[in-house]
Amino acid sequence: MANRNIVESWGFHVAVRLIALLVMVGSVIVIISHGSEPTQEDLLNTSSLDHRQIQIDQNPEEDLAQDFSDSPSVRLTLSEMQARQKEISQKDANGLEPANGKDDKDPSVNEWPIEEKTLDVDGVLVPAKETVISSSHDGKISDIPLQNGDLFRKNDILVRYACDDLAAEAEMAGVEKNLTDTKVKTGNQLFKLDIISDVDRLNIESEDKAADAKIKLYEARLEDCTIRAGFDGRVTKRLANEGEYTRTDRVLLEVASNDPLHIEFLMPSKWLRWVNVGAPITISLNETGRTYSAKVTRIYGEVDPVSRSIQVRAVLDSYHDPLLSGMSGKVELDAGAIKDAGVIGYLSQQAPYKESR
């Protein structure tokens, strides 16, 4: 009797499993006949029978991208789920601020709106190059050919010293050089005849080299007896006269170049938001009553904390009037014109230094 119950129980379990297997096979046949993949509902139904079937698309290049939220019966493939996750991560990252507190905005974008359209400040004309001529050595000035305001060319003599003693010594060195040249020629002939030794010949040659070096020394000293111009320009101030005895480093002349004049002016440091090198400006000179255009060429490296201003230099564009350094007038800065010229404000550009670590 007991064996019969066991057989019936096993038969019941086998029948249930066969029915479950038939249901699963039937579901697969239906799915294949419809030509579609198993849906989430099919997977849930088959899970009640402790059987789960997951179909993974092995062709990630196939275009199966569909929105999962629009139709619950459509399932994303594994490759599409990975792409969707990557897209969401990128969107989240774009919404976060950089950890270093900086933004990646274009440095050419002006971050400050124009508050004042124009600015008028005082400016003065200065030479492009100016030099102070100091005495090169102690001595008497024999000639200063130029007066205040005189023009000169490059390499013209500006100052000449009285160097008669050096000229005499240089002449003596020349006589010695001629003598040593003769000794060298004679020594070589005697050495070939085996009349003098090799040591005697070398002594004669060393005397000749010493005489040659002495000539070069006196030539250099005589060159210091004249001061020549290093560029084309004019004398702006003469501080010595002929016949005076000078000491080394005494200022004798002040000269300036003939290059186009520059403008120097103080600008409120706030305007560094819009002004930078290359910014167009204008100046109205008091002496001529005319307006001249210029461009900023240099912004000095320090702001005065008391006046909150910074020194700026600009170069005049071409002009025909005989302008002189020291002339002054009103410098006008137009923020709109500067922006239209494509100039990026000094404070709107990237820092010119590297970040410290």
Mean pLDDT of the chain, nearest integer: 79
What is residue 151's three-state secondary structure? strand
Q: Are residues 34 and 51 in the same domain?
A: yes
Q: Are residues 267 and 340 in the same domain?
A: yes
Per-residue pLDDT at 121: 96
Q: Rounded distance, CA 324 to CA 313, Å?
A: 16
Domain count, the chain: 3
Q: Are residues 247 and 265 in the same domain?
A: no
- Partnered with residue 133 across adjacent β-strands are 253
Q: Are residues 182 and 237 in the same domain?
A: yes
**What are the tokens at 229?**
């111009």
Residue 100 lies inside a defined structural domain of this protein: no
Look up the CATH number of the domain holding residue 205: 2.40.50.100
Residue that is last in its domain, among 255, 287, 318:
255
Q: What is the mean pLDDT of residues 30-41?
A: 57
Residue 320 lies inside a defined structural domain of this protein: yes
Look up the CATH number of the domain holding residue 263: 2.40.30.170
Residue 105 lies inside a defined structural domain of this protein: no
Half-sphere exposure of 165 (CA within 13 A, CB side): 2
Q: How far apart are the first and last CA of the chain?
A: 90
- The answer, yes or no, to whether residue 355 has pLDDT greater than 70, is no
* pLDDT greater at residue 48 or residue 144: 144
Q: Are residues 152 and 237 in the same domain?
A: yes
pLDDT per residue as tens digits for the range 189-237? 887 888 878 888 888 888 888 888 888 888 888 888 899 999 999 999 9
Q: Are residues 122 and 267 in the same domain?
A: yes
Per-residue pLDDT at 105: 54
Q: Rounded distance, CA 291 to CA 289, Å?
A: 7
For residue 245, which phi and psi values (nearest 5 degrees)?
A: -95, 130
Q: Are residues 84 and 232 in the same domain?
A: no
Q: Rounded distance, CA 112 to CA 109, Å?
A: 9
Q: Rounded distance, CA 150 to CA 230, Å?
A: 15
Range in 52-61, 81-90, 175-184, 232-241 the model is least confident about = 52-61
**What are the tokens at 139?**
């001595």
Q: Rounded distance, CA 81 to CA 66, Å?
A: 11
Give 72's pLDDT tier (boundaries 50, 70, 90).
very low
Residue 99 lies inside a defined structural domain of this protein: no
Per-residue pLDDT at 182: 87
Q: Are residues 48 and 77 in the same domain?
A: yes
Residue 187 lies inside a defined structural domain of this protein: yes
- The answer, yes or no, to whether residue 30 has pLDDT greater than 70, is no
Q: Are residues 220 and 279 in the same domain?
A: no
Percentage of residues in the chain having pLDDT higher than 70: 71
Residues in Cβ contact with 259 at an 8 Å cutoff, skipping those fewer than 6 apart: 127, 128, 129
Residue 245 lies inside a defined structural domain of this protein: yes
- The answer, yes or no, to whether residue 167 has pLDDT greater than 80, is yes
Q: Are residues 156 and 234 in the same domain?
A: yes
Question: Do 125 and 331 form a contact (C-beta atoms < 8 A)?
Answer: no
Percentage of residues in the chain having pLDDT higher than 90: 39
- The answer, yes or no, to whether residue 333 has pLDDT greater than 90, is yes
Q: Are residues 143 and 230 in the same domain?
A: yes
Residue 75 lies inside a defined structural domain of this protein: yes
Q: What is the mean pLDDT of residues 258-270?
A: 94
- The answer, yes or no, to whether residue 118 has pLDDT greater than 50, is yes
Residue that is last in its domain, among 201, 222, 255:
255
Residue 219 lies inside a defined structural domain of this protein: yes
Give 316's pLDDT tier (boundaries 50, 70, 90).
very high
Per-residue pLDDT at 70: 46
Half-sphere exposure of 122 (CA within 13 A, CB side): 3
Per-residue pLDDT at 172: 86
- Partnered with residue 299 across adjacent β-strands are 312
Per-residue pLDDT at 34: 58
Closest CA to 163 of 190, 182, 136: 136
Q: Are residues 74 and 190 in the same domain?
A: no
Domain range for 286: 118-128+259-348
Half-sphere exposure of 218 (CA within 13 A, CB side): 20
Residue that is last in its domain, among 219, 239, 255:
255
Give 71's pLDDT tier (boundaries 50, 70, 90).
very low
pLDDT per residue as tens digits for the range 226-251? 999 999 999 999 999 998 998 988 99
Q: Rounded distance, CA 317 to CA 352, Å?
A: 28
- The answer, yes or no, to whether residue 357 has pLDDT greater than 90, is no
Per-residue pLDDT at 52: 40
Q: Rounded distance, CA 332 to CA 97, Å?
A: 41
Give 46's pLDDT tier (boundaries 50, 70, 90).
very low
